[in-house]
Structure 1
Amino acid sequence: MEVFINGVDHNIFEKENVGKLLMKFSIPAIVSLLVAELYNMVDTVFVGRVIGGNAIGALVVVFPIQRIIVAISMMIAIGSSTAIARNNGKKDNESIKAVIKNALSLIFLTMIPMTILIFIFRDNVLNMLGTSKQILPYAHDYLSIIIFGSIFQCLTISIGYIMMSLGDRKTALKSTITGAVTNTIVDYFLVVKLSYGVKGAAFATIFSQFISFIYAYLHFRDIKKEYKLKFGFEIKGYILISIITVGFSAFIVEAEDGILLAVLNNLLLNHVGDIGVIILGVISKLSMFMFITMLGISSAMQPIAAYNLGAKNYRKLKEVVKKTVIFALMTSAILWIIGLLFAEQLISVFVKEREIIVEAAKAFRIMIAVFPMISIYYVSIYYFQALGKARTSFIVSIFRQIIILLPVSILLIKILDLGAIGAWVSYPISDFTASVTSIILMKIESEKLDVNIEKSKSKKIKEKDYKVNEHKNKKIQDDLIQ
């Protein structure tokens, strides 16, 4: 029986089979994450074609800051939606209500101070990120504007994930598509037609983020009405700690990209020059599209897995993980083949200089050499999040880029003096190592899950035997009375 309250299907996690659920939740999750990156990517395409390499360099330099904003958004979104999905499995509406209110309060508590601080110290931040004198004016103009869209972006992502954890997958999808379409149209007019340059691209970004938020909020009012939410600043320590600890690995997954790009920008600027920074910017945009697909599939699994954990349906939980791994592997293999075959064509979307296209294509093919393996790595991060194993999820999330990729890239570029090739080779090395480690950890967890399945099966058999015996005893008593 379907239960729709204010357009939200509250039985979707129980009545749908796992394959359909993954498809239904993967698409909005992928689109939501993709649009968060597309704001910078679309801006890069327009300013790169109209202005040139220095404008691309400016957006590359600012990109780590945008990654931090998305990282905070994902931390709150994943942390709160995991708690909500678990409580939804337990049918605990009061806890759901408390998590939503604390999550929204946390957004304002983090985003407003961060926006103000980055704006005040924007030139210092840009210099720390390795901005050259040629790129600095463009980066200054872009950052000065886009930073004010941060709170709308965070609210939109978090609202989308909260609603997905309650069974509404459409709001996240439609709000992000609305933002993407708006950004592309406004970018075209401001950058191409009116020649407003990077400032025009930045204004297009914050306007589209605001429109996306308005759409999400209008639909979020249904949830507000259903749970009788009264908006106000509410902070409960144990809820905030739960949101942050569970969502922190999602923060690391997003933030470490920004940290890595900042370090690689500096290394390449000093050892290769602006051309290295531009190539890194282009191929990181392309690879980000591929990685986002894996993140979307993995994060789509998270509310489904968390719900079944809350409902103590361990057999279905195992099925969810197995089918997610298969789905992620198949999807990553398709993207990998496309990337290898059409690298030049994809890169030419961003830049027109033939020399950059050729060098960037070589770098991109090296970067994604073992890409299909990384799908298991991302599934493992979100799986451990869904189980509430924050420490394991955190260790796995920092393993690939912070523990492996960063030291290896410094070793190859700075110490062994391999230049740009050192940066590109460090990616497949870290991808392979992290994936093998994730497979081992998931196998260990799978064995623990099998134990829970057997315990659950034994409990059901005992309950069944108890009911049968109780029925027999009752029948004997009835016979004696007669």
Structure 2
Amino acid sequence: MAKVSSEALGIEPIGKLLIKQAVPASIGILVMSLNILIDSIFVGNWIGSIAIAAINVVLPVSFFIAALGMAIGIGGSSIISRALGADNKQRALHTFGNQITLTLLCTVSLVILGLAFVDDIIPRFGGKGDIFDPAKIYYVIVLYGVPILGFAMMGNTVIRAEGKPKFAMTAMIIPTVGNLVMDYIFINVLDMGMHGAAWATTGSYLACFLYIFWFFTSKNSELKIRFKHLVLQKDIVTEIGSLGGVTLARQAVVSITYLLMNNILFDLGQEGLVAVYAIIGRMLMFALFPVFGVTQGFLPIAGYNYGAKQYDRVRESINTAIKYAAIVASLVFIGLMIFPAEIASLFLSDNPDIPAKELAVNQFVLSHATEPMRWVFAATPIIALQLIGAAYFQAVGKAIPALLLTLSRQGFFFIPLVLILPKFYGELGVWISFPIADVLATIVTGYFLNREVRTQLLAPKTT
């Protein structure tokens, strides 16, 4: 893959640029998505569908910890990139040191609180009935790896800030491969059940952390910190918080969504519906990876040309990105509409000797997963406009509209809908909340994006 220089962002054809930027971004997202997807297939086939539901209960906690590490990483990495560009290495070192201290303080505090209130937290996140015991096993073991996960997520963004994308890509691949290998050994070979699934996840975090630790202690990194760099500085901490807040807010809403869905679905259909949502949730992460890749590839192109006041190229990049993403989203939509039952069956064991309770849940999932999956992905072809529109405002540095539009689908529309509609339509109300939220968020984003294009991007280019 040829490297795209900053000058090329303002010269090369938009379509060609977008492919160059989107492909590596898609690969990175694919690697992470495959980890979650295949891990769920292994757990579902080797342990059972209740185990998938149990992992789904713990996901909001894992997402929030990962988001915390990403927020500290992204916030600090912005400072580091600018500091290195300005040849201010001391500020870069102090920032990295402060990131390490913040990550340690935040993650250790969360571990202590998480272990102290474990029996209260799990039921609140939907770990009720037969889900409670396996969820508790998974939760406690994974919680031990929380500081490691936080450091891994933070460190990966810093590697990118140093301009070392290949090392960052490797850091993403290691936990994926490690988790799958350890899943096979711990669950299938050693028959450790839920304990094996949890230790495989924690072990994959550790493998990633060790690689990142090696990177920063080797000659590959120019950030060689000392103890003095670990002392928190108010201005750096404040800037890390403000820049990383968008990431943390976005992921916090994802965690809240999982919490609500697990509880609402358990009340409506016990363990079976939670397992259905767990499968659909994995597909939401996996199936749309190329769409998210186009969105990530769009960001630097739009940002560079906006800064260069080449508004015609900005408009072209918006239109091209929406077109590419819509084509990909439509293909995903077709596949999910045609093969929902076959997709759901991948996550379930066909062993006739499994316990009666597990067999009953499997049969329930197979009979109930088809229509929910179709409803959840019903508006997929139009989400390109919502994603690209929100990304545009992020690319041009307009943080408030970027945050509001990013949160619009889940925060402003989906959460209220899923709290209201099931009261009138039961289980159907849960699933139709997805496409309704997609349509409403797309309409709102389309309005603001169109207004932005008319008022800002059609203005004469200044010299």
If the TM-score is normalised by the length of the shorter chain, which range does it land in? 0.7 to 0.9
My pick for the range that moved more, 301-310 or 129-138, is 301-310
Q: Which residue of 1 aligns with 2:451?
A: 444
1:394 maps to which of 391, 395, 403:
403
Which segments of 5 or more consecutive residues in structure 2 lack a partner in the other structure?
A: 350-361
* Equivalent of 2:418 in 409, 412, 432: 409
1:92 is displaced (CA, Å) by 2.4
Q: Is 1:259 matched up with 2:252?
A: no
Question: Is the 2:314–2:457 Cα contact (8 Å) retained in structure 1?
Answer: no
Q: Is residue 82–residue 386 contact of structure 1 (8 Å, CA) maintained in 2?
A: no
CA distance in 2, matches of 1:176, 1:441: 35
Amino acid at match of 2:446: I
Partners of 1:145 and 1:202 within 8 A in 2: yes
Q: Aligned residue for 1:137?
A: 133
Change (3 A) 1:164 1:30: farther
Q: How many residues align?
A: 444
Displacement of 1:310 after TM fit? 6.4
Aligned equivalent of 2:346: 349
Instruction: Quote the residue 1:70 is aligned against.
Output: 66
- The Cα RMSD (Å) is 3.1
C-alpha distance in structure 2 between counterparts of 1:160 and 1:24, whole Å: 22
Q: 1:14 aligns to what?
A: 7
1:114: Cα distance to partner? 1.6
Q: Residue 324 of structure 1: CA displacement?
A: 3.2
Mapped partners of 1:377, 1:84: distance in 2: 30
- Aligned pairs (5 A) from 1:19-34: 19=15, 22-34=18-30
Deviation, 1:252, is: 3.0
- Alpha-carbon contact 1:101-1:234 (below 8 Å) kept: yes
Partner of 1:383: 392
Residues in 1 aligned to 2:20 and 2:291: alpha-carbon distance in whole angstroms? 15
**Post-superposition offset of 1:274:** 1.9
1:234 Cα deviation from its structure 2 partner: 4.7
Question: Which structure 2 residues correspond to residues 299-314 of structure 1 after superposition, within 5 A?
Answer: 299-303=296-300, 305-306=302-303
Structure 1: which 5+ residue stretches go unaligned?
3-8, 460-482
Q: Tell me the TM-score normalised to structure 1 length.
A: 0.81
- Given the superposition, is the C-alpha separation of residues 65 and 400 from structure 1 closer, same or farther in structure 2, using an over 3 Å criterion? same
- Secondary structure of the structure 2 residue equivalent to 1:369: coil
**How far did residue 306 of structure 1 move?**
4.9
Please say which of residues 310-319 and 140-149 is displaced more in the overlay. 310-319
Tell me, in whole angstroms, the C-alpha distance in 2 between the residues paired with 1:25 and 1:171.
17
For the residues of structure 1 that align with 2:174 and 2:121, how far apart are their CA atoms?
Answer: 31
Q: SS at the partner of 1:279?
A: helix
* Matching of residue 337 in structure 1 with residue 331 in structure 2: no
Q: How far does residue 370 in structure 1 lie from its aligned partner after superposition? A: 0.8
Query: Aligned partner of 1:438: which letter?
Result: T
- How many angstroms does 1:28 deviate by? 4.6
8 Å contact from structure 2 (residues 129, 271) kept in 1? no
Whether the 8 Å contact between 1:85 and 1:304 is mirrored in structure 2 is no
Residues in 1 aligned to 2:368 and 2:162: alpha-carbon distance in whole angstroms: 46
Equivalence for 2:113:
117
Please name the residue that 1:182 is paired with. 178
Spell out, residue by residue over 1:100-157, the C-alpha distance to the aligned partner (whole angstroms, 9 max, x if none).
Answer: 4444443333222222221222221102112213111101110111123233333333
CA–CA distance in structure 2, aligned partners of residues 165 and 386 of structure 1: 17
- Residue identity matched to 1:175: A
Using the alignment, how far apart are the partners of 1:44 and 1:343 within structure 2? 16
Q: Residues 38, 112 of structure 1: CA spacing in aligned structure 2 closer, same or farther, 3 A cutoff?
A: farther
- Is this contact kept in 1: 2:64–2:252, CA < 8 A? yes
Offset, 1:374: 1.6
- Closer, same or farther: CA 235–450 of 1 in aligned 2, 3 Å: farther
Q: Hey, what's the Cα distance between the residues in 2 that align with 1:302 and 1:85?
A: 17
Secondary structure of 1:401 counterpart: helix
Letter in 2 for 1:433: L
2:202 corresponds to which of 206, 214, 217: 206
User: Residue type matched to 1:92 in 2?
Assistant: A
For 2:380, which of 366, 371, 380 is the aligned residue?
371
* CA–CA separation in structure 2 for the residues paired with 1:269 and 1:124: 16
Match of 1:469?
none
Please say if residues 268 and 276 of structure 1, whose CA atoms lie closer than 8 Å, have aligned partners that are also in contact.
yes
From the superposition, tell whether residues 36 and 225 of structure 1 become closer, same or farther in structure 2 (CA, over 3 Å): closer
2:426 counterpart letter in structure 1: G
| 1:414-433 to 2 correspondences below 5 Å | 414=423, 416=424, 418-433=425-440
Contact 2:376/2:432 (<8 A) preserved: yes
Match of 1:327 in 2: 324
Tell me: CA distance 1:228–1:325, structure 2 relative to 1, closer, same or farther (3 Å). Answer: farther
Higher mean displacement: 324-333 or 31-40? 31-40
Cα pair 1:78 1:161 within 8 Å, conserved: yes
Paired position in structure 2 for 1:92: 86
Partner amino acid for 1:52? G
